[in-house]
Chains A and B, each alone.
Chain A
Amino acid sequence: MIVELTSEPIDVPRLIAHVNKPSNGGICTFLGVVRDNAEGRPVVKLGYEAYESMAVAQMRAIVQEAMQRWGLDAVALSHRTGELQIGEASVAIAVGAPHRAEAFEACRFIIDTLKTRVPIWKKEFFQDGAVWVEPVSSQPSAG
């Protein structure tokens, strides 16, 4: 398993190579990339901040849950920190599975769960200021 936070551009081929095992028949990847607008308002760049030690621990727990639930032997998950330009990948997931259904489902589960409880925050930079994105609906639950 690869689980990491990185301030460098994500090496997507490395993640794919990690999950390309002989026993796997499908690899599903997901990239979250920096969009040039927030609901129509032009975005010039993004910044990501993490509670790094806890974020990595949460990411590892999510990946382990996915591997157990879908019986996977290889998953890679990488999230960027720091400043990102339009088009750069902020998060990358690669899931290898014997058949495609498990790969798609596990990949979807990992990104959806990451967005609800991994302590990482996005800051949107506009021409005239910046705001932290803190959607109240994504508040993780205690316990």
Chain B
Amino acid sequence: MPETKLTPPTEPTGAPATINVRVLFFASLADLMGGRQRSLALAAHATVSDALRELAQSAPDFASRVPHVSFAVNEAFVGADTPLSDGDELALIPPVSGG
């Protein structure tokens, strides 16, 4: 583009404006979402909550399940306010029933 905006970029050079995360679904959530994983494009600095909001768009019953779901990023339990990074694996973990 020959014409450039004078507004300074909000991101440092090289930082992606969007990030891609791999979301894993298990048990009843896999049934609900129609698969065991999905790639999700999110704005840079998106949190787990932002990802959940995005996922809720695609399944009407998803939002009602969220209060009972735990979250893990790269295999460690995290809170919903945790920021995500490009390439993260976000697992949505329904109440567990092993044993």
Contacts and interface: CB of A to CB of B under 8 A. Distances in A.
Interface of A: 32, 48-51, 53-55, 57, 79, 90-91, 111, 114-123, 132-143
Contacts of A51: 24, 26, 72, 75, 91, 93
A118 B31 CA distance: 20
B98 A122 contact: yes
A116 B99 CA distance: 10
Interface residues of B, number: 22
Interface string B58-99: 000000000010111001011110000000000101111111
Most chain A Cβ neighbours within 10 Å, of B70, B78, B95 = B95
Given A51-B26, A51-B91, A140-B77, A120 B70 contact: no
A138 B27 contact: no
Nearest to A5: B98
B18 interface: no
A115 B27 CA distance: 16
A90 B97 CA distance: 11
A15 B62 CA distance: 41
B78 A138 contact: no
B98 A132 contact: no
B28 interface: yes
Contacts of B97: 115, 120-122, 132-135, 138
Given A121-B94, A123-B27, A134-B28, 6 more contacts: A119-B91, A136-B68, A136-B95, A140-B96, A141-B70, A142-B77
A77 to B, nearest CB: 11
A32 B99 CA distance: 6
Nearest to A111: B99
A133 B93 CA distance: 13
B70 A139 contact: yes
B99 A119 contact: no
A120 B96 contact: yes
Nearest to B98: A120
A143 to B, nearest CB: 6
Given A115-B98, A133-B97, A134-B28, A142 B91 contact: no
